[in-house]
A = this chain, B = another copy of it.
Amino acid sequence: MARRSEHSLEELKALVLDAAETIVIEEGFSALKARRVAVEIGYTVGSIYMVFANMADLIMHINARTLDNIAAQLEQVNEPAADQCIEALAQTYLSYASQNFNRWLMLFEYRFPQNNAIPAWYQKKQYAVFDRIEQSFVQLAPECAEDRRRQAAHALWGGVHGVSMLSLSGKLDRNNINDVAESVALLVRNFIRGWVESTTHL
């Protein structure tokens, strides 16, 4: 056959990425196979390796988009009161995870072959999400030392992520989305109440 020059390499790369992303969204990570992507875009398997080093590379680029999406959602949160802002960020995160479950899950399900080989541009995207959270803690306690604030943001955000993960993936027990939202609200409110108290007492 040889569909030479029908698409540029950049166009082909976009085709592969879009097709792969769609498969993940609609059928989950486990349905993502090289041959399947090839069929979807009307090329053969080999072509994928012209534009991506391997499946790990392709997966990383899908995950990068997911990180961008999450960051974009969090950027839109704009509550004037700091505590309300943090709660809104948490609910926005849960909402994204719930509505984009398959791609959100792949973000955490996929393990990089060697953990130290995560490229800088990808790590930047991971940090971008977390930075938005930390930023809201600046608003909450401007006087607080950066170390303390970062640790608090880390603890709470790990918490919000954990509640979302256990609930949505049905590991610990089975809840509906409203219960999860309530759990997230409970965690955020009580943590912040306790933390602000201990911070202003210093």
Interface residues of A, Cβ cutoff 8 Å to B: 30, 108-109, 111, 115, 126-127, 129-130, 151-152, 154-167, 169-173, 175, 179, 182-184, 186-187, 189-195, 197-198
Contact = CB atoms under 8 A, between A and B. Distances in A.
24 contacts: A30-B111, A109-B109, A111-B169, A127-B173, A130-B172, A151-B179, A151-B186, A154-B163, A154-B175, A155-B186, A155-B190, A156-B159, A157-B166, A158-B163, A158-B166, A158-B167, A159-B160, A161-B165, A161-B172, A187-B191, A191-B194, A193-B193, A193-B197, A194-B197
Chief secondary structure at chain A's binding surface: helix
A190 B187 contact: no
Given A108-B171, A151-B183, A161 B166 contact: yes
